[in-house]
Structure 1
Amino acid sequence: MPDRLLLPFGGSAPSAHQLGKAHLGGKGANLAEMAGIGLPVPPGFVIPTPLCALYYDAGGRLPDALKAKLAEGLAHIEALVGMEFGSATNPLLVSVRSGARVSMPGMMDTVLNLGLNDVTVEGLASRSANPRFAWDSYRRFIQMYSDVVLGLDHYLFEDALEIMKDDRGASLDTDLTAEDLKALVGQYQAIVLKTRGEEFPQDPLEQLEGAVAAVFGSWRSERAAVYRRLNDIPESWGTAVTVQAMVFGNMGETSATGVAFTRDPATGDRRIYGEYLINAQGEDVVAGIRTPHYLTLSAREAAGARGQSMEEAMPAVFAELAEMFERLETHYRDCQDIEFTVQEGKLWLLQTRSGKRTAKAALKMACDMVDEGLIEADEAVLRVDPAVLDQLLHPTLDPAAPRDIIAVGLPASPGAASGAIVLDSETAAERAGRGEDVILVRVETSPEDIAGMHAARGILTARGGMTSHAAVVARGMGRPCVSGAGGISIDMEARTLKIGSKSFREGEIVTLDGASGEVMLGRVATVEPELSGDFARLMGWADQHRRMKVRANAETPEDCRTAVRFGAEGVGLARTEHMFFGAERIVHVRAMILSADESGRRAALEKLLPAQRADFAEIFRIMEGRPVTIRLLDPPLHEFLPSREAEMAEVAEATGLALGAVRRRVAELHESNPMLGHRGCRLLITFPEITEMQARAIFEAALEAGGGVEPEIMVPLVATARELELVKSVIERTAAEVFAEKGKTIPYTIGTMIELPRAALRAGEIAEHAGFFSFGTNDLTQTTLGISRDDAARFLGAYVDAGIYPRDPFVSLDTDGVGELIGLAAERGRGTRAGLKLGICGEHGGDPATIQFCETQGLDYVSCSPWRVPIARLAAAQAALHKA
């Protein structure tokens, strides 16, 4: 148990922010730091993250020692605000919020207005000239506490509220009187009694203990688990709990609440960006329950929006807020996402954190802050999450393409996406899992929608603003989002979306433009991105700092050109089998496989030779002297043969063989476990004529291309040094023959793919015959873990949730197991051959965490999908900077 169960902030309490976010959580650390520099922060205390683990170790119970300490924390707050927790005349109310070390917006639970009961509500009402807010706060508290702590469906309370509004002819919550709200409180309490068989708890300390436990409990909620899995956040981190004095934005027309960013999180422009609501509490803005107003006059005018901006309605408070923004950004040297409340004209800051932003905004902010002298270039490189670059590497809508605009909302998260309308998260996840592009359409999103939002290509909501849950989460995920499209309605029973007088069925295709807020019917053409400006500048800084080279896995001309455009420094894996499936080639491949003897195979391979040679020559020309690693034929032969009777008949006709002979050969080649069967070097040793043809094609193409081409020929799936020695001898003999025929030579290197545990263990012997090792981490992960990548999706999610693996080992390298084999192979290989070139070419090569590991192992390069090359370049630079 930690030495200090509670860490107070505010007043003369010593600042605890130096303990860091790992101990205090992001929210708690930032609140303590803001209080320490004299900003107006309501006082409170933090229950640190180690208590979260203790809560779960105790079977979901708060430690008794913590319960005893809560009174001390409350006394600290009471002394600073001059109110008493549970007082009938001057009651202190508190908020109870979660706070993980990294921001998880909306994923965990919060309870506001805690401390209200049938007695303290009267005391709260007496403190204000507008007693309505006390009853409004009480009914909100009952609903929130019942949902978060007691586990009741919040729709029970929403239905009661809507009935009350209908009875009173009220369009908004704010139209209800104090008496209306008092009656609603009675109805809410009756709902609790009927549903639970118990009265709503009246003891404030019991309420506090229940809320703290519920916040800890929400760390393992389904939505939080999904968010952690999507963002690689370990469950072991846990969450802190922050208890803080309540301030009220719903005390009348001089009170307000809002959310703001110090810079535009969509574009990166240096301007105040945010929204507020007068006479409201924070959830009204964050959850999108009411459509908020802009903070600045310029933003309101640009949007042509109704309602006063905060700059107009509360000019003095706005000026103070703007000054706070400047102080916070200068202090933290980053764009801040700030929650604030104005209580009867006094400004309070409730939270600050680094603002989530789009990739475009992240690049612009980083570059601008370097120009402003706020940060150095190396910090700019470290500040941009490599994964967000993916948002910039895909097409946007063609401005010249026709658009059938059916609705317009707020441009909440930029980018463009087309897909089928789906009206709930479960359907979105299900249809996306079948490979469909879907657009999730909701009245408003909530944290429970996290899985559907991740599955969708884009998100459309009827309600909410630019800082609503949908907007913030979509920007963090890189999903286009249009929010607050007020002209749309959803009929869940009929499964239709209605826009004006028109209805659209679930499944119809729409396109979202998150940059303009437009919703269009059908698919709209796109254009390729421009990788210049801030992108090019940041990548230039990254390239100055990184040590490892970045190559691409590519074998088609299109992929090679994309790789070069994205800054690849070579091809790390050209899979030759991918070149065999063209209609004019597969006939010859099948003829080779079906041949009864070597002469027949050689005749078929001779017909394949020109196509292979042309493929390699084109790759060499595009890569312009950059290194190209070509893997010899890897998959088992049966993959090239048909499995259906009709296709077998076509093969028989094309090859001139009897159908029965084709059937027999297909049956002969069938393997029970082909991944571990007759493939890779085993195939090349059995049929050396395949090696001869491919080696001849490589050398002839390299001589034809000229210009400093130095091919790297990779032998797949070796387990022993003898296997590599045998295949290498065939390659070298073929090279000598080609060079003699052409009268000239080129340098070349022969190496191998390390993808079997035995190869890693015997790397010292294998290195005697290898000029390079390329770690094929896809198969090395399968063979080390004994898990089929094709079948693992059925259970790996549960494994990650259970903490067996911190993340999917086929997405991010298992550094403890597979990584140890890589480290061992690198050490033993270089022990035999100093300067042995080492790379990684599995799909892990584009994963930033894996790249960090590769830097620690001293690998020379990583190779990944062409579309992930910029991600790898930035991640490699960050790995080098962290190592330094």
Structure 2
Amino acid sequence: MSTGKSIYFFARGQTDGRADMKNLLGGKGANLAEMTNLDIPVPPGFTITTEVCTAFYANGRRWPEGLDEEIRRNMARLEQVTGRRFGDPEKPLLVSVRSGARVSMPGMMDTILNLGLNDRTVQGLARQADERFAYDSYRRFVQMYGNVVLHVSSEEYEKLIEEVKERKGVELDTQLTAADWKELVGRFKALIQQRTGQPFPEEPEEQLFGAINAVFDSWNNPRAIRYREINKIPGDWGTAVNVQTMVFGNLGETSGTGVAFTRDPSTGKNVFYGEYLMNAQGEDVVAGIRTPQPIRTLQEAQPQAYQQLEEIRQKLEAHYRDMMDIEFTIQDGELFMLQCRSGKRTALAAVTIAVDMVKEGLIDKETAIRRVDPEQVEQLLHPMVDPGQELEVLTKGLPASPGAAVGRIVLTADDAEDWADRGERVVLVRTETSPEDIGGMNVAEGILTARGGMTSHAAVVARGMGKCCVAGAGEVRVDTTARQISVNGRVLKEGDWITLNGTTGEVYPGQAKLVEPELSGAFGELMAWADELRTLGVRTNADTPHDAEVARRFGAEGIGLCRTEHMFFGENRIVAVREMILADDEESRRKALAKLLPYQRDDFYGILKVMEGLPVTIRLLDPPLHEFLPHEEEAVDEVARETGKSPAEVRAKVESLKEFNPMLGHRGCRLGVTYPEIYEMQVQAIFEAATRLAKEGLSIHPEVMIPLVGTPEELSFLRERVEKVAREVMEKAGVQVPYKVGTMIEVPRAALVADRIAEGAEFFSFGTNDLTQMTFGFSRDDAGVFLEDYRKKGILRSDPFQTLDQEGVGQLVQMGLERGRKTRPDLKVGICGEHGGDPASVKFCHRTGLDYVSCSPYRVPVARLAAAQARVEERGTPRGDVCRALEPGGRGRDPPPGRHRRGHRGPRRAPAAGPEPHRPLPLPPGEDAVVLGQLRGAVLPLLRVRGRGGRLSLSYDAGRHRLPRGGAAPRPPGGRARGRPGPLGRRPAPGRGAGPPGGAERPGPPLLPGPTGRTGRKPGPRLPGATGHGLGGGGALRPGVCPGRRRVAAHARGATLVQAE
């Protein structure tokens, strides 16, 4: 393992870890160490690293050599610190064993409390406290261990508890006596012996090793896998294991346990928010079995502990500069912190907290932008319950996660998934949720629980997913056998409609009316900051004036894709479309098209008017004609009646239009070439609408887009006809409208010959849906059958139709961009596939140098924020954050000595003359690294080197820095200045130098000396794991001046990448 250390200890004055070691220690372990360093009361313990977990799986579920001895050594340290001994019958040391991934996965992995208890040590615990507490703790341990490690269902233990309560005539666990718990311990052990054939382990070390194994195993339990899939968490990260001294919240009425957030995780308000239970252990609060008390009442029950907790709240938030989720236990009035982590929050809370913390001076605007997940933003845009309507309130619970949900009642997670697969909207109603319900919660519109509080499993997971949730609605009775719920005698069946109001906690029968939310306040401020930063434009895909209006309200800067075929399906239009398709000659087709013309003109008029002053890209007809004709016999007869044709003629036409592979068939520009009159009608409609609006005094900017072009000749043929019709319409109207003609790049051949296609195109729009389909050879409509298996088996990291494949499809995009701009420097380039609203794809588009992305209206704010984040990432790591690039695969250590943290722009002073000391910096494919160097006395900013599948892009930012005087550096191979945009971002339009402001463009010297101290002579050692672009036969890194305002591209030929000391 790379660290050479498997275990990190934490205790006051002897803590090994810290907060920035999350990749190694997991979030829980890193933060336990950090709180200990902050002198916050934390029970001592140790963390087994995530590297041990990955080694465990790599070794066939066997521990790395020597781990058992290292665990024993750290248990001995724990004994020394606590004054207790593991397995001692008089003063036993008891521990908890918990998981801890690098990101929070609430409830998905396993926990075991009170480990170390057996028939001997329980007596020692009883002598220190009381017998009832000791045997309650013992039965909890046997129950947890039996379930998690020995795989005996928890329901079987609960059934035994219910039997004893029924026999004793009591309702609550707290009413059972020491003798009752003692009896249940024996019955639990007998159950385990019966189910497993083995006795319950009495030896504490055997218990500990079994628990550690079980936590490692829980990384790949079904619910953890499902959670990772939903949240796009890599499966190879592994989990850490935290072994920590037990403190007890169930010692009596002066003890308790709770979960709290330093701010409200639902609204983001700066109020202390949380819940607690007295005389309980930690799992009791989040399990939802008992409804806890709000944190404010702790001030009366335990004023000293509450005051200390309030101080810790302030201390943690000031230190982490984030809203934190904390877990605590009070043992006989003494407070202990068991965990802190960045709190899960709703989209509303994420935005509110980020903006408020900027105003409070805790973070800057760039950090605020980075803090909000773009995917979350969409949740703020969806409807909420209309407050103006009168609604019957069925019941009321706790508003655990805001928003609104309307759906049919389902009572199990499996049913939720089944109903959702059929296209039904569902609300999952449960007595309480458990981690096993994760799949059903993911597909549900909302979640309603009868038990549990604001920090229950349902509430925490729903907030993380952005789902509406009402928890703790105590009047609800769930009957899974009868498939119904009842509220005060009123019965609702499975499948009945129900509405949840996550803002008020109210539940309504039926389908309530929903309204659009207001997009102002903190959300408006955050988006304004994003717009100040981003350089990538954001347009929308819209086919109706309503869609265009919504998108413009959400900040769209134009329309990047208006699909004209969607307009053809209107009630009165489809008949004319079918007449056109069934026509036998051009004259008949033109007659049918003449009927469509006014409809198309009105459509374009409405859309262009809404987007006044902004560009509107209108794609001419794309899908194959057979999509407009029916295939069922009954529908064929109806079409025959509508069009005056015989059923036989309609059937013959349908048959003649059938294609074996219609997505590669007679569609797009091929229709325009075969039937030019179709495109002519559409262009006429566009310009008749545009000239009418121009006469009304509006500024209109139509862009006509030819789809599916694969050859320059196709574009040339159709462009001539577009220009001819546009000219005729504008001459007739007596008004000129500025317009552009361009094409979609969605056929791989088009990217390869983009330099020639650009001769006839004023803009490119990458249709990444079809480009992905044709590049992979996947049918988008059929790939779902196997793509899920590909993801599960690690063949594909994500669905390429959702997140752009940067290594393959992305290379075609980059190639098309470069070749197109080589011919036409002012070429405007964007993408208009589904990828335009995917944050990872948006960031790729920024880095590649596109002008804009286009996405659905509700994704526009997502793309705006993602574009701003791309710009922030390009500008370097913000102040206060650790250097992420220097640790392969993730985040996590301070900059090397000699480099200041702010901006990571290299050494503060120029080094002495002569070659700089250097060391190889290996770059595995798929990882990022940095090279920091010197540019003849001027500080060189960050040079990023990005490897993907053995290919490298290299770039550094020369903006704001004076280039050296005198002596031009050797040009890159090929004899001319050239460059490849790297991950630092966009290459601006050619023709603008990277030299000093106001000065001449001046190339710089070699970045670092080559292996021989010279440049361009002798090959250096090969870069491990990298071949292909940027590597070849000799020389060191050379900076070549790249066309553009700020970029200088570095070219490597056979160089070892080095980092200056």
Normalising TM by the smaller chain, what interval? over 0.9
Moved more, 447-456 or 406-415: 406-415
SS in 1 for 2:361: coil
Query: Which of 635, 641, 661 is the equivalent residue of 1:647?
Result: 635
Q: Contact conserved, 1:83 with 1:92, CA < 8 A, in 2?
A: yes
The 5-angstrom pairing of residues 626-637 of structure 1 reads: 626-637=614-625
SS in 1 for 2:609: helix
User: By how many angstroms is 1:168 displaced?
Assistant: 2.0
Q: Distance in 2 between matches of 1:131 and 1:667?
A: 84
Which stretch shows the higher mean deviation, 246-255 or 567-576?
246-255
Give yes or no for the alignment of 1:716 onto 2:704.
Answer: no
Q: Quote how far apart the aligned CAs of 1:796 are.
A: 2.2
- CA distance in 1: counterparts of 2:221 and 2:754, whole angstroms: 45
- Equivalent residue, structure 2, for 1:742: 733
State the 1:348 CA deviation. Answer: 0.5
The counterpart of 1:593, out of the listed 568, 576, 581, is 581
Query: Structure 1 pair 482/597, CA: closer, same or farther in 2 (3 Å)?
Result: same
Matches within 5 A, 1:530-549: 530-549=518-537
Aligned partner letter, 2:596: L
The answer to which of 310-319 and 778-787 deviates more is 778-787
State the SS of the aligned residue for 1:551: strand
SS at match of 1:84: coil
Which letter does structure 1 place at the counterpart of 2:90? T
Q: Which residue of the partner structure matches residue 832 of structure 1?
A: 823
Residue 216 (1) aligns with residue 216 (2)? yes
Map 1:548-627 to 2 at 5 A: 548-627=536-615
Shift, 1:764, TM fit: 2.2
Match in the other structure for 1:299: none
Q: Which residue of 1 aligns with 2:431?
A: 443
Shift of 1:798: 2.5
Partner of 1:713: helix, strand, or coil?
Answer: strand
What is the aligned counterpart of 2:744 among 753, 761, 782?
A: 753
Please state how far the C-alpha of 1:18 moved relative to its aligned partner: 5.7
By how many angstroms is 1:181 displaced? Answer: 0.8
Measured in 1, the distance between the counterparts of 2:608 and 2:767 equals: 23
Counterparts of 2:747 and 2:257 in 1: how far apart (Å)? 59
1:369 corresponding residue in structure 2: 357
Match of 1:684 among 667, 672, 683: 672
Per the alignment, residue 858 of structure 1 pairs with 849
Q: What do the CA deviations read for 1:80-125 (whole angstroms, capped 9, x no partner)? A: 1111112222111111111111111111111111111222212222
More helix by share: 1
Q: How does 1:248-327 map to 2 (within 5 A)?
A: 248-296=248-296, 309-327=297-315
Residues 779-818 of structure 1: matches in 2 within 5 Å?
Answer: 779-818=770-809
Other-structure match for 1:433: 421
Structure 1 residue 589, shift from structure 2 partner: 0.9
Q: Which AA in structure 1 matches 2:65?
A: D
Output the amino acid matched with 2:799. D
The reply on whether 1:412 has 2:413 as its aligned counterpart is no
Instruction: Summarize deviations over 1:251-283 as a string: whole Å, max 9, x none.
Output: 111111000011111111111111101110011
Per-residue Cα deviation, 1:187-235 (whole angstroms, up to 9, x for no partner): 1000000000100111222221211121111111111111111111111
Q: In the alignment, does 2:235 pair up with 1:247?
A: no
SS at match of 1:237: coil
Residue in structure 2 matching 1:670, options 640, 658, 669: 658
Distance 1:721 1:341 in 2: 71
Which range is displaced more, 723-732 or 593-602? 723-732
Match of 2:1022 in 1: none
Residues 19, 33 of structure 2: 8 Å contact kept: no
Q: Of residues 502, 527, 532 in structure 1, which corresponds to 2:490?
A: 502
Question: In the alignment, is residue 79 of structure 1 matched against residue 70 of structure 2?
Answer: no
CA contact (8 A) 1:552 1:568 kept: yes
8 Å CA contact 1:752, 1:772 repeated in 2: yes
How far did residue 625 of structure 1 move?
1.5
Partner of 2:869: 878
- The TM-score, its normalising length taken from structure 2, stands at 0.81
Comparing 735-744 and 263-272, the one that deviates more: 735-744
Mapped contact 2:50–2:237 kept (Cα < 8 A): yes
Task: Report the Cα distance in structure 2 between the residues aligned to 1:63 and 1:126, rounded to whole angstroms.
Answer: 39
Paired residues for 1:475-490 under 5 Å: 475-490=463-478
Query: Is 2:10 the counterpart of 1:6?
Result: no
In structure 2, what is the equivalent of residue 697 of structure 1? 685
Q: Secondary structure at the match of 1:20?
A: helix
Q: Give a deviation string over 1:776-811, Cα, whole Å, max 9, x none.
A: 111112222222222233332222222222222222
Tell me if the contact between 1:98 and 1:240 (Cα under 8 Å) persists in the aligned partners: yes
The alpha-carbon deviation at position 425 of structure 1 amounts to 0.3
Residue 114 of structure 1 corresponds to 115
Shift of 1:869: 0.9
Report the CA distance between 1:721 and its aligned residue: 2.0
Structure 1 residue aligned with 2:172 = 172
Structure 1 residue 14 displacement after superposition = 4.2
Q: Deviations over 1:552-574 (max 9, x none)?
A: 10010110110111111000000
Corresponding residue for residue 493 of structure 1: 481
Deviating runs (4+, > 3 A) in structure 1? none
Q: TM-score, normalised by structure 1?
A: 0.97
Aligned-partner Cα distance in 2 for 1:566–1:633: 27
Structure 2 counterpart of 1:196:
196
3-state SS of 1:404 partner: coil
- Give the structure 2 partner of residue 20 of structure 1: 21
Moved more, 427-436 or 160-169: 160-169
In 1: Cα distance, 2:369 partner to 2:212 partner: 38
Q: Is the contact made by 1:283 and 1:289 (CA closer than 8 Å) also made in structure 2?
A: no
Within 2, Cα distance between the matches of 1:165 and 1:243?
33
Mean CA deviation greater in 644-653 or 251-260: 644-653
Secondary structure of 1:697 counterpart: helix
* Alignment counterpart, residue 350 of structure 1, candidates 338, 348, 362: 338
Aligned to 2:154: 154
Q: Which residue of 2 aligns with 1:227?
A: 227
Matching residue's letter, 1:93: L
Match of 2:412 in 1: 424
Number of residues of Structure 1 aligned to a counterpart in Structure 2: 871
Contact kept? 2:261, 2:274, Cα under 8 Å = yes
Deviation at 1:698, TM superposition (A): 1.6
Does the aligned pair in 2 maintain the 1:752–1:773 contact within 8 Å?
A: yes
Q: Which runs of 5+ in 1 are unaligned?
A: 297-308
Larger RCO (alpha carbons 8 Å, 6+ apart): 1
Residue 851 of structure 1, CA deviation: 1.0
In structure 2, how many angstroms separate the alpha carbons of the residues matched to 1:234 and 1:84?
A: 39
Query: Matches of 1:828 and 1:28 in 2, distance apart?
Result: 50
Equivalent residue number for residue 397 of structure 1: 385
Between the aligned partners of 1:146 and 1:138, the Cα distance in structure 2 is 12
The Cα RMSD (Å) is 1.4
Return 5+ residue gaps in structure 2 as ranges: 876-1061
SS of the aligned residue for 1:751 comes to strand
Report the Cα distance in structure 2 between the residues aligned to 1:151 and 1:761, rounded to whole angstroms: 57
- Give the corresponding residue for 2:442: 454
